[in-house]
């Protein structure tokens, strides 16, 4: 199972798109939606509501707010 570089969804390795950059790093995208958001639109995955990174950052914000109280 491979994790999508943008949304964090796990898929089989033979599905999706593998982007191999000149520096040797590999980016895996589960759909064209993830690929376009990451490469063409250059969106931050922590600011897009349907990604796992957004949910993790939201949880961290909530924990900080609870500690302040």
Give residue limits of the domains in the chain: 2-68
Residue 68 three-state SS: helix
At 2 the pLDDT is 94
pTM, two decimal places: 0.83
At 67 the pLDDT is 87
Give the DSSP letter string of 18-60.
EEE-TTS-EEEESSHHHHIIIIIS---TTSSTTSHHHHHHHHH
In the predicted structure, residue 12 carries a pLDDT above the cut 80: yes
In the predicted structure, residue 20 carries a pLDDT above the cut 90: yes
Q: Taking the domain 2-68, which CATH number applies?
A: 2.30.170.20
């Amino acid at each position: 199972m491979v994790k999508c570089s943008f949304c964090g969804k796990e898929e089989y390795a033979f599905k999706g798109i593998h982007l191999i950059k000149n520096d040797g790093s590999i980016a895996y995208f589960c759909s064209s939606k993830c690929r376009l958001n990451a490469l063409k639109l250059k969106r931050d995955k922590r600011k897009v509501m349907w990604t796992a990174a957004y949910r993790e950052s939201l949880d961290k914000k909530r924990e900080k707010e609870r500690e302040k109280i």
